[in-house]
Chain A
């Protein structure tokens, strides 16, 4: 085999990996969104807010700090798509969904902790987002959602 053939094989493997990652990644992503919708529906009775104060006439008991964390990885396709996008600029949709998944998952975990404690509101919710790098091209976003769970009577 000459050099040219090698180059074709290299490109072929790279493209194949990106396509495979795109297909599998998309399946993982839509499965994750389905799970999120289910858990969000189950937790929809709990009111979330980033207000500091409760409305004037509300009375609440047993406030507790609750938090939820989620770290979601990028995939080869997302990195590739973002690389292409950065050439022309504009919305990087592949990373938007990544952040959305991490935030919603963190909210679900936080709200679930509140539910287990018997709370019906989570007040003054805050987010802390950061990126995680796992090597040369890999990485992910980590989101910590936290707030004050209370039982409003």
Chain B
């Protein structure tokens, strides 16, 4: 599965659009992290527990989005975006979304037929 934030994949051609796929996760950190964080708030610095939380959330949201894409029979997700929202204090939502598509390899440039070269060049203007 290819996952990108761009609207196209270099060297690939979109043959089928499967539609929007999404994954979200709402996570809370445990009380220990919260206490450590409030101590950190006196002097500043990185809130490592929260950073880890964000990393885990992102992994989970992407995994759920990919599960949807696989179910649709896609082999790539394009134009992936993330959005966050806080539900209450201590819990946050991370939402990942993108467009599931089926892509195939572009006809290689080395092809002798002039038509192949045109297709390959066009793909960089058109996607």
A residues with CB within 8 A of B: 17, 20-21, 24-25, 28-29, 32, 52-54, 56, 58-61, 63-65, 67, 69-78, 105, 123-126, 128, 130-135, 137-140, 142, 144, 146-148, 150
CA distance A142 to B81 in the complex (A): 16
Say yes or no: is B14 at the interface (Cβ < 8 Å to chain A): no
B residues with CB within 8 A of A: 2-11, 34, 37-38, 40-48, 50-51, 54-55, 58, 62, 80-86, 89, 92, 94, 124-125, 127
Known A67-B58, A133-B89; contact A144-B10, beta-carbon cutoff 8 A: no
Minimum Cβ distance to chain B for residue A99 (Å): 13
Asked if residues B44 and A28 are in contact (CB atoms below 8 Å), the reply is yes
Chain A residues with CB under 8 Å of B9's CB are 63
CA distance A24 to B71 in the complex (A): 52
CA distance A30 to B38 in the complex (A): 21
CA distance A54 to B54 in the complex (A): 29
Task: Kindly list 14 other residue pairs between chains A and B, CB separation below 8 angstroms, not including A126-B82, A134-B47, A138-B38.
Answer: A21-B42, A21-B43, A21-B44, A53-B127, A63-B9, A63-B10, A65-B80, A69-B55, A73-B41, A105-B46, A123-B6, A138-B41, A142-B51, A147-B5
CA distance A58 to B10 in the complex (A): 9
Asked if residues A124 and B5 are in contact (CB atoms below 8 Å), the reply is yes
Chain B residues with CB under 8 Å of A63's CB are 2, 4, 6, 9-10
Asked if residues A70 and B43 are in contact (CB atoms below 8 Å), the reply is no
Asked if residues A137 and B41 are in contact (CB atoms below 8 Å), the reply is yes
Minimum Cβ distance to chain B for residue A84 (Å): 17
Q: Choose one: B34, B44, B51, B58; the contact of A74 (CB below 8 Å).
A: B44
Asked if residues A76 and B42 are in contact (CB atoms below 8 Å), the reply is yes
29 A-B contacts (beta carbon < 8 Å): A20-B43, A53-B6, A54-B10, A56-B125, A60-B11, A63-B2, A63-B4, A65-B3, A65-B4, A70-B51, A71-B47, A71-B48, A72-B45, A73-B40, A73-B44, A73-B46, A75-B41, A75-B43, A76-B43, A77-B44, A130-B84, A132-B92, A134-B37, A135-B41, A142-B54, A144-B54, A144-B82, A146-B82, A148-B5
Minimum Cβ distance to chain B for residue A115 (Å): 17
Asked if residues B41 and A139 are in contact (CB atoms below 8 Å), the reply is yes
Q: Is the interface of A mostly helix, strand, loop or mixed?
A: strand
Chain B residues with CB under 8 Å of A105's CB are 46
10 smallest CB-CB distances across A and B, nearest first, come from A138-B41, A75-B44, A71-B50, A69-B54, A60-B10, A25-B44, A65-B3, A148-B4, A134-B37, A124-B5
CA distance A118 to B59 in the complex (A): 21
